[in-house]
Structure 1
């Protein structure tokens, strides 16, 4: 086993020269921002320098470098994930304020909503009830229906789209 205990800079430069293009390309196809991709690729080699004394240079180095790069990409994505603003709670609060400030409950949109909800099968109505009347979070609904998060969120998305289209059609017909 060959380890670089003395942190030989010339050997490190050779390692970087041999793997830099592959690491940069690996990161660049996974990160949209070229500046961020460049920084992450540099960080891979900084970690290599810090851990050089622990790495067996008799073993292939590229898999280790690419695994480190993938971990850095994952960390970057987690840190830079967009935070949604005004989720369901904000929308519901605005809706309740609007309902409380007027008597739109008897208006054409709510009449159409009731009609459209009546067209759904019982399972779909129950899903809507749990989410929007009972205020259950997705995790709780998943447990009740025995489905995964993606399945439940997709069903809710499709139901909202279906209800929106139905309401649009019903309110246009009423006018």
Structure 2
């Protein structure tokens, strides 16, 4: 089988980055619709193939996760259709309802990540650096305290205050955005 995708090299790289960055989201989405982990892997692989074949249809700047999940949804339906002889009971309405709920959650988490990034950017450099150190792979309060010559309690308290500021910023920003969307 030969798959031809006519993208420019930079478009191909960008698409591959999007696809690989969202594998865990796609897996979780498919897993929420299929009970069997082995079937989830099969459907994920098929979804990746379809996404790659249809990569020219994706418009840069639009919501990749929403588009990819829609493709995954149809792959889940195809899986149920092709395996209806198994003992699983296939209910299109139930799968559709679950998919809709999950798409709404994903859209909400995408908005939350976008707003959190904006709020992080508003923090003073020192606070932003402290958050990055703490949540980097292997980052710990103990390591930061030792590096800065501060007590673990002092670093924990500083991180607590920064997280409070971030939470307030996110809540205010989301409330403002919802207010703008209502009017």
TM-score (normalizing by structure 2): 0.40
If you compute each CA radius of gyration, which structure gives the higher value, 1 or 2?
A: 1
TM-score (normalizing by structure 1): 0.41
Q: Which has the higher contact order (CA 8 A, sep 6+)?
A: 1
